Amino acid sequence: MYGDNQDIQAFLYLKEENEEISDVSPVLPNDRYLKIGTFKINAHGTKLGERLIKKAFDYALDKKIKKIYLTVFPEHGGEPDTARLILRDLVNATVGFETLAKATAKQSKSLHRMLSAKGNPTMDNLTTIFSVLRQKLDVDIEVHAVRH
């Protein structure tokens, strides 16, 4: 995606994989996956991240792929911060924070804070958020660590 000055503002690379994914722990078994190979945005107060997450989900739905994975490396922005922001973009691009608030019995503003760059959600809150997303989107969501 290019900006007004023809500079790159966002880039998304998707790859279909039909094999075991062994560079994460625990290993993802042999299956059909959509890998988000590259996900880069020039974050500047726009909805680019949300739009790219939606594009990935739309692609997976169109191709009938039930499993999507994205590898986040610690040296590329820090796992917890990056993971929270990706989760926030996923919520915005799919169910929305108002629907999530109703399903979790939490205030929308509180959920926004939890999933901000400085957020600190508890494991109970993350588990609840993942559970709602699994149910509403009919997808598998798992968290795996990268093996170095």
pTM as predicted: 0.63
Q: How confident is the model at residue 83 (pLDDT cuts 50, 70, 90)?
A: confident
Determine, yes or no, domain membership for 37: yes
Kindly report, residue by residue over 89-136, the tens digit of the pLDDT: 888 888 999 999 999 999 999 999 999 878 888 888 888 998 898 888
What residues contact 50, with CB distance under 8 A and at least 6 apart?
89, 92, 93
Determine, yes or no, domain membership for 146: no
Quote the domain boundaries for residue 83. Answer: 77-138
Determine, yes or no, domain membership for 16: yes
Determine, yes or no, domain membership for 18: yes
